[in-house]
Structure formats: structure tokens, C-alpha cells
Amino acid sequence: MNNSIFPFIDTSKYEDVIESDKLEELCEYAFDFKNNCLLTNSAGQNYYVYRNEALKVWIYKALMTPRYQHLAYTEDYGNEMFSMISQAIDQEVMLLELKRYITEALMYNSYIQELNGFEFEVKGSEVLIRFTVISIYGQMRYEQIMKEGVG
């Protein structure tokens, strides 16, 4: 059966292209967020994490990478919030901008469907950010400390 709005066009030959467009399972190296390094197993080898655990690693890296400063990354990767944390601007405005920068940095990822439930705690030149990530693998809560000049 042809479901095209143009009945004279045979769309069946394009169905394989649509099926092959599915995302592969997300995979990243396991990461130690506290010490900012890759994790190793008992044999001293790096290992992989998958799905939402891999997405946590990707989010951490995207939020810790300044946009436009590294040739290894495209212009879509990273964020622009590091210089803003230390600026003398109204805190409410800063938090709205942080939410915008985070959303712009992360919604670029095809595995992320939605970000919501943003919470911020400002402590001097640090901001603790919390939000909910809804990915193709389900929902998870994410938390990270952003510091002035780190990135």
C-alpha cells in the first residue's frame, strides 16, 4: 500500500533508508567525574559504558568544553557559559542564561529528547546545576558543578 500523498510516487524503495536511520547504541569510555579521568578495570584497561551511563559522560564533556576553542570539535559541540559565571550580572538573569546555554549545548545530541526540571545553587564562583534528561533510553537526573574559568 502506498501511503504517499502523491499516489503516483512509489515510496517503498525508500523504506530501507528510513529503517537504517536508527541510532546505534550510545557508547563512551567509563569516566571518573571526581578525578576527571578515564576509569580502568581490575586489569588496568579502560572499559565502555552504554546508553544513559554513556550519555552522562557525553553531557559532562559537552558542559566542560568551551565552544569554538578547540579545532577537534565542531562549532555545535561545547558551551559558552564559563565566562558568564564570574560576571557581575543579576543572578536571575545569569541562571536563565545558564539554562539556555545548557539546553543549546545538549539538545544537539540526537539521543536527548528533552531537558527539564532545572535547579541551580550558586556558591561564590561555583554553580551546582541539576536537571532531568529524557533520552531515547529513558529518564535520568543529572548533576554537575560548574566553576568559573574551568573548561
pLDDT score for 44: 93
Domain that holds residue 58: 12-147
- Asked if residues 132 and 142 have their Cβ atoms less than 8 Å apart, the reply is yes
pLDDT of residue 46: 94
Predicted confidence band of residue 20 (pLDDT cuts 50, 70, 90): very low
Q: Are 135 and 79 in contact (CB under 8 A)?
A: no
Q: Yes or no: say if 122 and 91 are a contact pair by the CB < 8 Å rule.
A: yes
The mean pLDDT value of the chain amounts to 80
* 7 within a domain of the structure (yes/no): no
> What's residue 75's pLDDT?
66
Determine the 3-state secondary structure of 21 from DSSP: coil
Does 4 reside within a domain? no
Q: In total, how many domains does the chain have?
A: 1
* pLDDT given for residue 17 in this prediction: 44
Each residue of 79-134: pLDDT tens digit? 666 666 556 677 788 888 889 889 988 988 999 999 999 999 988 778 899 999 99
In-domain check, residue 59: yes
29 in a structural domain: yes
Q: How confident is the model at residue 140 (pLDDT cuts 50, 70, 90)?
A: very high
- Average pLDDT of 129-141? 96
Q: For residues 109 and 74, what is the distance between their CA atoms, to the nearest angstrom?
A: 13
Instruction: Measure the CA–CA gap between 49 and 38, rounded to whole angstroms.
Output: 11
Task: Tell me the sheet residues that pair with 31.
Answer: 38
Q: What is the pLDDT of residue 19?
A: 40
Flag whether the pTM goes above 0.85. Answer: no
Query: Is 5 inside a domain boundary?
Result: no
Amino acid letter for position 33: F
pLDDT of res. 133: 96
What pLDDT does residue 151 have?
Answer: 47
CATH number at residue 86: 3.10.450.40
DSSP at 14: G
In a domain, 78, yes or no: yes
